[in-house]
Structure 1
Amino acid sequence: MERVLAVTERQQSDETVSSTPTPSAAAPSVVPSPAALAARPKPPALAETAKGSSAPVAAPVVQAASAETLRFGRAEDDGHVFLLLDGEEIPVGQYPGASQEEALGYFARKFEDLVAQIALLEQRVDAKAASTDMHKTVTHLRALLAERNAIGDVRTAEGRLDSLDERIKALQQAERAEHEALRAAELAARESIVAEAEALAAQDPANTQWKNGSTRMNELFDAWKLAQKDGVRLGKATEDALWKRFRAARTVFDRHRRAFFSQLDSANAVAKSAKEKLIEEAEALSTSTEWGVTAGAYRELMDRWKTAPRASKKEDDALWARFRGAQEKFFEARQLANAAIDEEYSKNLVVKEALITEAKALLPIRDLTSAKKALQSIRDRWEDAGKVPRADMQRVEAGLRSVEDAVRKAEDDHWKRTDPEAKARTNSALTQLEAAISALEADLADAKAKGNAKKIKNAEDALAARQAWLEQIRKSADELG
C-alpha cells in the first residue's frame, strides 16, 4: 500500500511539472547568488533569445497569480520574483518576458505542487498506511521548502510538516504495538506447536496411538512450515531455538515409533510361530475319526491357543481362521457321522418306545412274580433293540427305569413281609414286651394297695408306653404274617 501511494505521489508530481508551461530559453532561473542579484542584468529580448532560429518563439502560457498568492510574493517588471516571509523579501527566481502576475503565478504553482505532496502524505497518514519512508518524505519536503524557489504560505506548510512528523511518530508507535501483538500471537502459536510436539514425543511408547500420533505430528509440521512462510517474523535466534526444540521432538517421536514397531514385529513373529505350531496340530487331527478322544484334544488345543501371545490383528485373524478351519473340518465330519448313526438309531427308538409302553402296562403291580417275569422279557428285548439317538437316550432310559423302580419296590415290600429273621425278631420283642407289661401291672397293683401316688403315676406311664410299643409290634407281625 505504501509503495502504491509513493508511486502515485511521484506520478502526481511529474504530472504537475509536465503541466506547467515551459518558458523559452529565458525560462526562470534558479535562485541567483547575491552578486548576481546585485548586478541584476536585464533579460534579453525574446527575439535575441531565439537568435539562430528561423521560426519565431511563442510566448509561454502562464496562469496569473491569485489574490492569495499576492500575499506571499512580489514580482518586478523584469520578471524577478520575491517571497515575502516574516517581513523579508527572499528572491526565488526570474520569469522574463511575462507579466508580474504571470511570473508570480508560475512560482505559486510550484508551491502548490509542494502543498499537494504534503496533502497526499496527510492522506496516507489518515489512512494509516505503512509508515515506511514517511519521515524521509517529510524531510524531503522540508528541503524543498527550504530552497525558497516557490511562492506561498511557507510557515503553514512547515507547520503541517511538523504536525505530520508527530502523527507519523504516533503511527509508527501504533504499528510497533500492532507488530508486537502479532509477534506475541505468532510466538504463542509457534510455542503451542512445539509444546504439542514435545508432549507427543514424551508419551509412553507402549500406550501411544501411533496412527493418530503420526498424523498429528505431520499436521504440526505442516502448520510449522505455513507459519514460517506466512507468519510474522520472530527473529532468527527465536525461530532457530523453537525449530531446534520442534525438530528434537519429531526425532524422539520417530525413534520411539521405529523402536515400538521393531519390537512389535519381533513379538508378532514369536506369536505367529507359536500359533502356527498349534495350527499344525489342529490340522493333523482334522481327519481323525476317534470322535471322543479327538474332541478332547481340540479342547486342549483351544486352551493353549487362548494363552498364546497375540500377533498383529491382521495376522492373528488369518491364523485364527486356519485354526478354526481345522476344528470345523473335524466337527463337521463328526456331525455327519452322528447324523448317520442317529438315522440308524431312530429305528431302535421306535422299538424301545413300544417296550416302554408295554412295561408301563404292568403297573400297578398285582402279581409280583408275573410282573418280574414280564419285565425280564422286556429287558432282554430292550438290549437287543440297540442304541437310540443321543437326544432321546435320557428320555427312554428314564421311561423304563420308572417301571423297574416300581417292581423293585414291590419286591422289597414283599421281602420285608416274608423275612424269617424279621419274624423271629418281632416275636422276641412281643414276648419281652408282654413280660414287661405283666411286671408293670403287678407293680401298679402293689402301688395302689399301698396308696403310693408317685409309684402309681410312674407305673401307669411306663405301662402306657409299653402297651403302645406292643401295639406297633403286633401290626408289624401281622404284615409279616
Structure 2
Amino acid sequence: MSSDPWGRVDETGTVYVRTADGEQVVGSWQAGTPEEALAYFERKYEGLVVEIGLLEKRVKTTDLSAKDAQTAIDHIREQVDAHHAVGDLDALKTRLDKLVETVGKRREERKQQRAKQSDEARHAKEALVTEAEELAQSDQWRAAGERLRSLVDTWKGLPRLDRKSDDELWHRFSHARSAFSKRRKAHFAQLDAQREEARKTKERLVAEAESLSGSTDWGLTAARYRELMSEWKAAGRAQREHEDDLWNRFRGAQDIFFAARSSVFAERDAEQSENLKLKEELAGEAEKLLPIGDLKGTRAAFRSINERWEAIGHVPRDARPKVEGRMHAVERALQDAEENEWRRTNPEARARAEGLTGQLQAAVDKLRGQIEQARAQGNNSKADKLERELEGRQALLDQALKGLQEFGG
C-alpha cells in the first residue's frame, strides 16, 4: 500500500483521495506500482489546478461573459466532484466558489454599467432633441442647418434606448429638423426661378456625364468631363433639395469613369499622390481668400486658382471628397457673396429707391413752402402743424437717402 497527504492506494489497487467528507474512491489501478498510481492521479489534480488558474485569469483580465464563465466553472466543478484526482479537492472547490462570487459581481457591475449607459444615452438624446427644437425656430439658416446635421451624426453615435422611448425622441428630433427645413425653403422661395434654371442645366449635364461614364476613350472623355465641370460651376446653384442629389449623380458618373481609368492606369498612383499635394496647396490658397473683402479681386483670384486646379489632374479617389469639399466650400462662399452683391446692385430695386427718394424730397420741399406761406400770413397754428408733419417726412427722406447709398448712389 502507498499513500501521500491527500490519497492512498490499498492492497487491491483502489485509489482513494482524502476530502473534508472523508475518503472518496478515485479509481482502480492495476497497471503498475501504487506510487505510479498516485503520481498519475496527482498529475490529473495539477491539470485541474492549471485549468482553474487559467479560468481565474480570464475572468479577471478579459471580457469573458458571465454565461461562458459559469459554463466553464460548472465543467471544472463536475471534474472536481467526480473525485478522479488526488490532491486538495476542497481547496479547488473553494476557489471555484470564489470564482462564482466574482462572476456574479461582474454580472451585477455590467448590469449597472448598462443601466448607467442607457440613462446617459437618454439624457444625451433628450438634450439633442431640445437643441434641435430650439434650432427649428432659428433664422440663422446656414449655421443652424450645419448644427442640425452635426446633431444627426451625434445621434447616430449614441446607443439605442427602448423602442418606445427611442421612437418618441426620434419623432420629435425628426419633426424639428423637418420644421426647420420647411421654414428655410419658404425663406428662399424668391430664388426658385433662378435655381430651377440651374436644376435644368445640371440635369442635362448629369445626363451627359452618365452617358459618358462607360467610355474607354480616356483622353477625350476626361477633357469633356472637365468642360462639363466648368459648365456645372457656371450654372449656379440649384434648389438645395436637388443640388446634393444632382451633384452625387454627376460626381458618381465621373467616379465610374475615372475608377475604370484608374484600374487601367494603376501605375499613375504616384502621379495622383503628387496631384493631391498640389490640390491641397491650392485648397489652402483658396481658403486664404476668406473672408471675402474685394469681391472682384477675390473672384479673379479664385478663377486663377481654379484654372490651376483643373490643370493638375486627378487625385486618389479616397482623398477626393475632402480636398474638393474644401474648394467647394470656398466656391459656395464666393457664390453667396455674388448673390448678395447682385441684390445690392439690382437696378430695379435702385430705381424704386430713387423714385421713393424723389417723391419724399418733393413732399418735403412742398411742406417747407407751405410753412413759409403760413408764417407770412400769420397763421402760426397751421405752420406749427405743418412743421410736425415736415419732421416725419424729413425722417422718412433721411432713411430713404441712407438706403439709396447702399446701392452706391
TM above 0.5, yes or no, is no
Query: Which TM-score applies when normalising by structure 2?
Result: 0.45
Larger radius of gyration between Structure 1 and Structure 2: 1
Query: Which TM-score applies when normalising by structure 1?
Result: 0.38
